[in-house]
Amino acid sequence: MTDLFSPYTLKGVTIRNRIAMSPMTMYRATDGLMNDFHVMLLGSRAAGGFGLVFAEQLAISPEGRTSVNCGGIYDDAQIEGLSRVTAIIKDMGGVPAIQLGHTGRKGSEVKPWEGGAQLPPDHPNGWQVVGPSAIPYGGKYCYPVHALTREEIGAIHASYANAAKRALAAGFEWLEMHFAHGYLGASFFSPLANQRTDEYGGSLENRVRFHLEALDAVRAVWPERYPLTMRLGSDDLNEGGVQFDEAISAVGLMKAHGLDLADLSLGFNTDEMQTLPFADLGFMLTRAARLKQELGMPVATSWNLGLPALASKVIREGVIDLVMLGRPALSNPHWPVWAARELQQEDPFGLVPEDWAWWLRNFRAHPACIGWPVENNPVLPEFGSPG
């Protein structure tokens, strides 16, 4: 029976389990370069048992970053740092994955814990944000948006292809396109942001044209043996935005253009969402199960899947194929090992490198002192006061 710890093969890549660390923007880069922090963060998660380990969303151009502190893959000088990341992930038994993105009209920000404000185009750390139409997102995203021309769209697709070439040179073996969370791909898909009257706007087929051309550009240079996946903003939770029925149709079109797996998320093209499901366990699972059934293609999702019993259940029942974990991966670098112990797997320490596993399997002291939570706290001994 397939379970959370079963290997998973997609195209020519086999992951040791069904647990993936999601891409998360960490605001630790300078000039888009990966550094010691990223090697530590991503290598430790691979050492902790995650089968698939994503670096943060990497921008395909300087203007595609969230902030000047975010990672990029738009310059050959960035390959060296990325190669260090992929090397440590592989050495620790994981598969290195990359997410290519462009933040569109939601870029040019400061760090969120410093207020997260959008910077004006003339600020030293800001730039002119772009989108399908000249429509600001709203709220803190208040500065004018440049509506991309056809020629500029073509240049962005070329940037996707060039980034994919660099990803291959850096040693990544899994590539995801970020078309969610209000970023550029998501805004082309959503009527809330896309009010174009040319071949990139209006009908569903036109609004997904940006995605199909981006996929084609990447698929032309990304080897067939490596998965090409996509995180899609599949629902805006707003009657004027993307509806999930549209997402199913769009993914069907993308499948015909070389898409291997759909990683479903929300659109976040507006703050005016009619329902707020963010406290609900696994709230994307119903959508993911429906897409998998109707299109017959692999599906992944995230959002409140950090309970081992829930993650195990949805894999065991075939609801999704991969569990994507973001904040759980930040809070617990060894989440897979903890989950294996919680689920009473026979050899949970088999998920860590063999040299670590040997010491952990041969732990000869009190079982509660190994550093993992125990069901019942032991009674603490009494000690005499120092004389």
Q: How far is it, in rounded angstroms, from Cα 318 to Cα 299?
A: 10
Residue 91, Cβ neighbours under 10 Å: how many?
A: 12
| Helix, strand, or coil (residue 207) | helix
The amino acid sitting at 104 is: G
Q: Give residues with Cβ within 8 angstroms of 98, minimum separation 6.
A: 54, 55, 58, 73, 82, 167, 170, 172, 174, 175, 176
Rounded distance, CA 138 to CA 152, Å?
A: 24
Cα 149 from Cα 144, distance rounded (Å): 16
Hey, is 158 helix, strand or coil?
helix
Strands of the chain, DSSP E: 8-10, 13-15, 19-21, 52-59, 95-101, 130-131, 146-147, 174-179, 228-233, 261-265, 299-301, 322-325
Report whether 163 contacts 173 (CB < 8 A). no
Chain-centre distance of CA 93, in angstroms? 19
Distance of CA 337 to the CA centre of its chain: 21
Q: Which two tokens stand for residue 103?
A: 């933040």
Distance from C-alpha of 323 to C-alpha of 284, rounded to nearest angstrom: 11
> Catalytic annotation on 183?
yes
Answer for the pair 119, 108: CB distance below 8 angstroms, yes or no.
Answer: yes
The residue written with tokens 């959008």 in the block is 118
Q: Which of 141, 183, 200, 226 is catalytic?
A: 183
Sign of CA dihedral 175, 181, 184, 185: positive
Q: Which two tokens stand for residue 218?
A: 């990447």
Q: What residues pair up with 99 in beta bridges, in sequence order?
A: 57, 176
Catalytic annotation, residues: 183
